[in-house]
Structure 1
Amino acid sequence: MTPRYVPLGDLCEITASPSSDLFTGLTVGVTGAPVVTPADITDSQRVSPETLRRLPEPPPTLARYRLRPNDLVLVRLGGVGRVALLGEGADDWVYHSSCIRIRPDADQINPVYLAAYLAYPPVVDQLLSHVQVGTVPVLTAGSLRSLHVALPELNLQTVMAGALTEVGLQMDIQQRILTRLGSVRQGLFTHMLGNDLPGEAISRPQPAARERKSPRTRRTNRMS
Structure 2
Amino acid sequence: MRPKSLPLGHICEITASPSSDLFATLAVSTVGTPVVTPADITSTQRISTETLRRLPDAPAGLERYRLRPGDLVLVRLGSVGKVALLGEDAGDWVYHSSCIRIRPDAERVNPVYLAAYLAHQPVVDQLLSHVQVGTVPVLTADSLRSLPVVLPAPDVQQIMARALVEVGVQMDIQQQILTRLNCVRQGLLAHVLGDELSESAASRPQTSSPERRTPRTRRTNRMS
TM-score, with length taken from structure 2: 0.87
| CA distance, structure 2, for counterparts of residue 109 and residue 71 of structure 1 | 12
Per-residue CA deviation, residues 26-49 of structure 1 (Å, 9 max, x unaligned), is 111330011111011010111111
Corresponding residue number in structure 1 for 2:169: 169
Corresponding residue number in structure 1 for 2:57: 57
Per-residue CA deviation, residues 40-70 of structure 1 (Å, 9 max, x unaligned), is 1010111111111111001120111000001
By how many angstroms is 1:79 displaced?
0.5
| CA distance, structure 2, for counterparts of residue 147 and residue 184 of structure 1 | 45
Corresponding residue number in structure 2 for 1:206: none
- Please list, as runs of the form range in 1=range in 2, the aligned pairs for 1:133-148 lying within 5 A after superposition: 133-148=133-148
Query: Runs of 5+ in structure 2 lacking a partner?
Result: 206-224
By how many angstroms is 1:140 displaced?
0.3
Corresponding residue number in structure 2 for 1:157: 157
Query: Runs of 5+ in structure 1 lacking a partner?
Result: 204-224
Corresponding residue number in structure 2 for 1:186: 186
Corresponding residue number in structure 2 for 1:3: 3
3-state SS of 1:31 partner: coil
| CA distance, structure 1, for counterparts of residue 171 and residue 152 of structure 2 | 25
Corresponding residue number in structure 1 for 2:37: 37
The range that moved more, 18-27 or 112-121, is: 18-27
- Please list, as runs of the form range in 1=range in 2, the aligned pairs for 1:69-88 lying within 5 A after superposition: 69-88=69-88
| CA distance, structure 2, for counterparts of residue 172 and residue 202 of structure 1 | 43
By how many angstroms is 1:193 displaced?
3.1
By how many angstroms is 1:202 displaced?
5.0
| CA distance, structure 1, for counterparts of residue 60 and residue 69 of structure 2 | 21
- Report the number of matched residues: 203
Corresponding residue number in structure 2 for 1:47: 47
By how many angstroms is 1:89 displaced?
1.3
| CA distance, structure 1, for counterparts of residue 204 and residue 168 of structure 2 | 47
Q: Give aligned-pair identity as a percent.
A: 71
| CA distance, structure 1, for counterparts of residue 42 and residue 203 of structure 2 | 39
By how many angstroms is 1:83 displaced?
0.2
Per-residue CA deviation, residues 60-93 of structure 1 (Å, 9 max, x unaligned), is 2011100000100000000000000010110210
Q: 1:144 to 1:191 in 2, by over 3 A?
A: same
Corresponding residue number in structure 1 for 2:25: 25
By how many angstroms is 1:107 displaced?
0.5
Per-residue CA deviation, residues 136-167 of structure 1 (Å, 9 max, x unaligned), is 00000000000010011111100000001111
Assess if the C-alpha contact under 8 Å between 2:29 and 2:56 holds in 1. no
Per-residue CA deviation, residues 105-150 of structure 1 (Å, 9 max, x unaligned), is 0000000000000000000000000000000000000000000100
| CA distance, structure 2, for counterparts of residue 130 and residue 193 of structure 1 | 52
Indicate yes or no: 2:103 matched with 1:103.
yes
| CA distance, structure 1, for counterparts of residue 75 and residue 27 of structure 2 | 20
Corresponding residue number in structure 1 for 2:122: 122
| CA distance, structure 1, for counterparts of residue 128 and residue 203 of structure 2 | 48
| CA distance, structure 1, for counterparts of residue 72 and residue 105 of structure 2 | 12
| CA distance, structure 2, for counterparts of residue 29 and residue 20 of structure 1 | 19
Amino acid at match of 2:138: V
By how many angstroms is 1:200 displaced?
4.3
